[in-house]
């Protein structure tokens, strides 16, 4: 199986260096002995730093064996007690969420759970123009509505002044969040946040999305209400039915699919396949998801459509879709989301071109991307930042200029904590607002502080680099012979699902294969067959969207030539098929 040394690929057709990842043979053998998994799975687990004793948790996570008590989180007991009290006393409850998918799913989960309890609730999702987190206007709306408890979802940890307004008016506040903590916490009833400074680093909830924190809170509240005999009056909610929302928010917020997140997503995908949520079912049909949903569908098909309303439309549409009670209502909202998503894609294409123009016209050395433009929509700058980070392999900050204010979003790379940098700049008064994670952050500042902010980041990244940045090479999980590619291997690899952040889909290199039967299919895809040197082993392959690329051109012009192929082993489900195909991501000429 191991043929890394034989490849010798220093440059591929896309000028990437292929690096086959190394793992000691004794570790692979230990995993095989401890768990009985096939050697290829053991190798993949070792590359993902899964210890032998954790293989069962990784491959077969279960609620019975792996879900911790919710009270493991600081303030959870206080939060659950206060929410349960509000339900029992029929108090009016305000739910305030963020406008991204994590915020929408968190708010929808809370809204559905409390609605099943017949609670009196008001849910508020801010428009992006209002800025991130609780605003004074929104909090006054809750006060005027007679709310006695406000629950924030996916925000609130740094909303000191806004939440203080509520507490001065005798309105209790429970914060359910997962963003990095500032040097202090808001003075409220409870702050449940696994990223709190006083939470241990090994807390199993630490890498949760906000929707995971909300789910843990719902478990705690549900248990309290059961103990108090509340469900003698109404049916007890089926909490497992909410896991499709937990999976969606977790994947779309790019949380690592390890530990509890893996449990949530793996189970949530099964729940989603049961089509219990009407909104998700309608959106899946509109998005032409015909097979069992995967993490890819959540992150790259469903997520962008839900995110579109928070970026350029009415932010509450996504949450309303997830809470829709009938298919007619869901269909109307889903159609609107589809229209917004088409508009969002066009905006992104235009701004991306402008951003590249700014970058390429500058002669200065770049350690990070820092661009802004007038007329750029603030709702899509995060998408542009992500695309620029992938293009240049350095942190990217993209801002929309409106009058004298810049509102931006950034994406980072391993080793450079952008969230911490933004908080530090906020503490120094450079930013008017800001927060986020190590890999992503949002912020705003006055235009006359832009140069100061850029200089601050240069100094901060220079002195706070966690480790040497990884080279932007092309990592191969394993080199395999073409004869090994088949249904049995594909079935073996499914044990590693779901794939995503923290558990990337395995990438393979197949050496010394000839291409034949090459043709363009569909919307610019290149279909072909890969044939082994002996002429006997043959597999179907496809390079998606490659017709106008150097990959596609090489396949079309050099039939019969030998290549090393790199990519993924996936099922071919086109037209209902269930065969195996190799998805070509890169090629290198074979010597």
Tens-digit pLDDT string for the chain (591 aa)? 344 434 657 778 887 888 888 888 999 999 999 999 999 999 999 999 999 999 999 999 999 999 999 999 999 999 999 999 999 999 999 999 998 999 999 999 999 999 999 999 999 999 877 877 899 999 999 999 999 999 999 999 999 999 999 999 999 999 999 998 888 999 999 999 999 999 999 999 999 999 999 999 999 999 999 999 999 989 999 999 999 999 999 999 989 999 999 999 999 999 999 999 999 999 999 998 988 899 999 999 999 999 888 777 788 999 999 999 988 999 999 999 999 989 988 999 999 999 999 998 876 667 899 999 999 998 899 999 999 998 888 999 999 999 999 999 999 988 889 999 999 999 999 999 898 878 889 999 999 999 999 999 999 998 887 655 445 468 899 999 999 999 889 999 998 999 999 999 999 999 999 999 999 999 899 999 999 988 889 999 999 989 988 999 999 999 889 999 999 999 887 766 668 999 999 999 987
Rounded Cα gap, residues 94 and 537, in angstroms:
62
Sign of CA dihedral 463, 468, 473, 478: negative
Q: How many residues does the chain have?
A: 591
pLDDT score of 14: 81
Same domain, 166 and 270: yes
**Residue recorded with tokens 């990437």:** 16
pLDDT score of 414: 80
* 62 found inside a domain: no
| Edge-to-edge strand ranges of the sheet holding 440-446 | 369-374, 396-402, 405-411, 440-446, 433-436
Same domain, 324 and 411: no
> Quick count: other Cβ atoms within 10 Å of Cβ 69?
11
pLDDT score of 151: 98
Helix orientation angle between 136-144 and 160-168, rounded to the nearest 10 degrees: 20
Same domain, 288 and 426: no
* 54 found inside a domain: no
- Evaluate if pTM is beyond 0.95: no
Contact 95, 151 (CB under 8 A): yes
Token pair for 130: 């209002």
- 93 - beta bridge partners? 121, 149
Same domain, 403 and 478: no
pLDDT score of 1: 38
CATH number at residue 259: 3.90.1640.30
Pick the closest to residue 153 from 129, 121, 199, 117 (CA basis): 121
Rounded Cα gap, residues 480 and 567, in angstroms:
11
Same domain, 452 and 560: no
Rounded Cα gap, residues 516 and 510, in angstroms:
15
Rounded Cα gap, residues 351 and 549, in angstroms:
22
* 345 found inside a domain: no
Same domain, 124 and 225: yes
Pick the closest to residue 441 from 521, 386, 493 (CA basis): 386
Same domain, 452 and 495: no
Token pair for 561: 């030539």
Same domain, 236 and 149: yes
Helix orientation angle between 327-360 and 381-392, rounded to the nearest 10 degrees: 50
Question: 379 lies in which domain range?
Answer: 362-463
Rounded Cα gap, residues 207 and 285, in angstroms:
31
* 57 found inside a domain: no
Same domain, 17 and 74: no
Same domain, 449 and 502: no
Judged by phi (left if over 0) then psi (alpha if -120 to 50, else beta), residue 273 lies in alpha
Domains contained in the chain, number: 3
pLDDT score of 201: 92
* 275 found inside a domain: yes
* 457 found inside a domain: yes
Same domain, 408 and 442: yes
* 51 found inside a domain: no
pLDDT score of 577: 62
Counting Cβ atoms within 10 Å, is residue 170 exposed (0-12), middle (13-18) or buried (19+)? exposed
* 38 found inside a domain: no
CATH number at residue 412: 3.10.310.30
Contact 83, 221 (CB under 8 A): yes
Say whether the peptide bond before residue 409 is cis (omega within 30 degrees of 0): no
Contact 398, 408 (CB under 8 A): yes
Judged by phi (left if over 0) then psi (alpha if -120 to 50, else beta), residue 224 lies in alpha
In the Cβ-directed half-sphere of 222, how many Cα atoms lie within 13 Å? 18
Token pair for 265: 């997503």
Same domain, 185 and 317: yes
In the Cβ-directed half-sphere of 365, how many Cα atoms lie within 13 Å? 2
Residue 319: phi and psi, rounded to 5, are -65, -40
């Amino acid at each position: 199986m191991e043929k890394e040394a034989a490849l010798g690929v220093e440059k591929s057709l896309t000028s990437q260096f292929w690096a086959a990842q190394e793992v000691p043979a004794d570790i692979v053998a230990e995993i095989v002995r401890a768990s009985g998994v096939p050697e290829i799975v053991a190798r993949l687990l070792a590359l993902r730093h899964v210890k032998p004793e954790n293989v069962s948790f990784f491959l077969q996570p279960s609620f019975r064996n792996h879900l911790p008590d919710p009270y493991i989180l600081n303030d959870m007991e206080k939060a659950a007690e206060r929410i349960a009290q509000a339900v029992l006393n029929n108090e009016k409850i305000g739910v305030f969420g963020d406008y991204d998918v994590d915020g929408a799913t968190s708010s929808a989960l809370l809204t559905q759970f409390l609605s099943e309890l017949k609670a009196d609730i008001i849910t508020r999702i801010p428009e992006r123009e209002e800025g991130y987190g609780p605003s004074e206007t929104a909090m006054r709306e809750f006060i005027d509505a007679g709310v006695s408890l406000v629950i924030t979802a996916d925000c609130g940890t740094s909303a000191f002044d806004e939440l203080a307004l509520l507490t001065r008016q005798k309105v209790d506040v429970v914060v359910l969040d997962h963003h990095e903590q500032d040097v202090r916490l808001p003075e409220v009833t409870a702050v449940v946040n696994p990223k709190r400074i006083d939470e241990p680093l090994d807390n199993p909830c630490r890498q949760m999305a906000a929707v995971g924190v909300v789910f843990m809170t719902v478990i705690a509240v549900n248990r309290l209400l059961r103990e108090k005999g509340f469900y003698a009056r109404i049916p007890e909610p089926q909490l497992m039915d909410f896991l499709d929302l937990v999976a969606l928010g977790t994947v779309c917020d790019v949380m690592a699919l390890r530990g509890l997140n893996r449990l949530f997503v793996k189970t949530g995908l099964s729940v989603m396949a049961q089509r219990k949520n009407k909104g998700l079912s309608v959106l899946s049909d509109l998005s032409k998801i015909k097979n069992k949903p995967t993490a890819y569908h959540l992150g790259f098909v469903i997520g962008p459509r839900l995110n579109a309303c928070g970026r350029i439309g009415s932010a509450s549409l996504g949450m309303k879709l997830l809470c829709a009670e009938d298919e007619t209502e869901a269909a109307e909202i889903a159609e609107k989301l589809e229209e917004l998503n088409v508009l969002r894609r066009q905006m992104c294409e235009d701004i991306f071109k402008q951003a590249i123009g700014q970058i390429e016209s500058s002669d200065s050395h770049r350690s990070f991307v820092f661009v802004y433009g007038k007329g750029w929509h603030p709702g899509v700058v995060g998408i542009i930042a992500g695309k620029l980070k992938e293009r240049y392999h350095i942190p990217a900050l993209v801002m929309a200029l409106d009058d004298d204010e810049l509102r931006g979003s950034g994406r980072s790379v391993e080793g450079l904590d952008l969230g911490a940098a933004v908080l530090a700049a906020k503490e120094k008064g450079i930013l008017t607002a800001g927060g986020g994670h190590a890999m992503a952050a949002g912020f705003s500042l006055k235009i006359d502080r832009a140069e100061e902010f850029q200089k601050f980041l240069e100094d901060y990244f220079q002195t706070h680099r966690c480790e040497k940045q990884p080279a932007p090479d092309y990592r191969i999980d394993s080199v395999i012979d073409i004869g090994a590619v088949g249904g049995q291997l594909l079935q073996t690899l499914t044990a590693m699902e779901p794939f995503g952040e923290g558990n990337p889909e395995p990438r393979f290199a197949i050496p010394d294969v000839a291409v034949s039967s090459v043709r363009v299919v569909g919307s610019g895809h290149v279909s072909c067959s890969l044939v082994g040197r002996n002429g006997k082993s043959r597999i179907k392959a496809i390079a998606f969207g490659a017709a106008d690329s150097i990959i596609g051109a090489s396949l079309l012009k050099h039939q019969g030539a030998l290549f090393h192929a790199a990519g993924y082993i996936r099922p071919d489900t086109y037209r209902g098929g269930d065969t195996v195909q190799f998805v070509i991501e890169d090629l290198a000429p074979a010597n």
